[in-house]
Amino acid sequence: MKLKLAFGAVIAALLLEGCMPGMGADTALMNKTRGSKNAQVSKAQARQYARQQRLTADEIRLQNMKRRQSTDAVAEGAGATHDALGAIRDVRALFGKY
């Protein structure tokens, strides 16, 4: 019971800390300086960030494509094995041996 109360107190403290006044000061500063030379992020930095995001997205897309190709190759191999076993069963059935 004491553990639940302590845990509840910690959660309440964290929630109250997030609601304290002045927490939006960073956002207000960013909005105030947006587009000026005092901006926190320069245009060159923003372009570099966008470029990195595009490259990361391309890399993830390529990894997914490789993963899909590997999965397809395994599935093809399994399908070929299944077909070969079916052919063997058919031949055995022709000779009456199961």
The list of the chain residues with pLDDT below 50 reads none
Q: Is the pTM of this model over 0.75?
A: no
- Report the pLDDT value the prediction gives residue 39, as an integer from 0 to 100: 62
Task: Give the Cα separation of 81 and 78 in Å (integer).
Answer: 5
pLDDT recorded at residue 41 = 73
Token pair recorded at residue 45: 């930095």
Give pLDDT, residue 19.
Answer: 57
Whether residue 98 contacts residue 92, with contact meaning beta carbons closer than 8 Å, is answered with yes
| Sequence spans of domains, the chain | 1-40, 41-98
